[in-house]
Amino acid sequence: MTVLAAGTIFRFSTNILIPSYSAVPGVLDFGAIGNVAEAKENTTLSDVEKTFGVGMVETPDQTVKGQFLSLTVDDPDGFQDDFLDACKARVPMLVQIEYPDKLTPSTGTGTIAGFGYQPMGMQLDPVKGEDWMMFTCPGKQSNVSWTKPT
């Protein structure tokens, strides 16, 4: 069964030692999650074709994009504001992304990707006329972990 991404929850915690996650409203897009090892050539003189092993694991850049919300109306708990302030200050954080693929819809949790996130700043995207105000927070992810759905 295929699952739509609608219902995905983006959470963050700036407390690395004892995480307390807050859901960030307005997130529309984030980069690929995971890590991929690069191929490392290990061809010897006796080989008749190139051979490869596994090199260092690298995680892709992680850019978070979203709608910039009004603090009083659309973000009454201030969680987006807190997230953006942490990104502006380049505060390392933990991120959890919960996908909507719950096995038990009313009580379960979806697949959860967890990782360290080092934001490199925050910017408001260019706007024209009737455009929504949007934000972009570029950064790097590390130490990706996965929890299966329940």
Q: Where are the domains of the chain?
A: 9-31+60-147
* Distance in angstroms (rounded) separating the CA atoms of residues 84 and 67: 11
**Is pLDDT above 70 for 53?**
yes
Structure tokens at 101: 């693929």
Mean pLDDT of 127-146: 92
- For residues 30 and 87, give the distance between their C-alpha atoms in angstroms, rounded to a whole number: 14
pLDDT at 32 over 70: yes
Strand partners, 112: 98, 147
pLDDT: is 75 or 144 the higher one? 144
Instruction: Extract the tokens encoding 88.
Output: 């502006």
- Please say whether the beta carbons of 136 and 64 come within 8 A: yes
- State mean pLDDT over 22-27: 95
Burial, 67: exposed, middle or buried (Cβ in 10 Å; 0-12, 13-18, 19+)? middle
pTM of the shown model: 0.86
Structure-token pair, residue 23:
């859901």
Mean pLDDT of 129-150: 92
Topology given in CATH for the domain delimited by 9-31+60-147: Pnp Oxidase; Chain A (2.30.110)
- pLDDT of amino acid 1: 61
3-state secondary structure of 49: coil
Residue 71, pLDDT score: 77
Tokens describing residue 2: 């295929």
Residues in a beta bridge with 140: 61, 118
| pLDDT value of position 128 | 86
CA 130 vs CA 122, 125, 126: distances in Å: 22, 13, 12
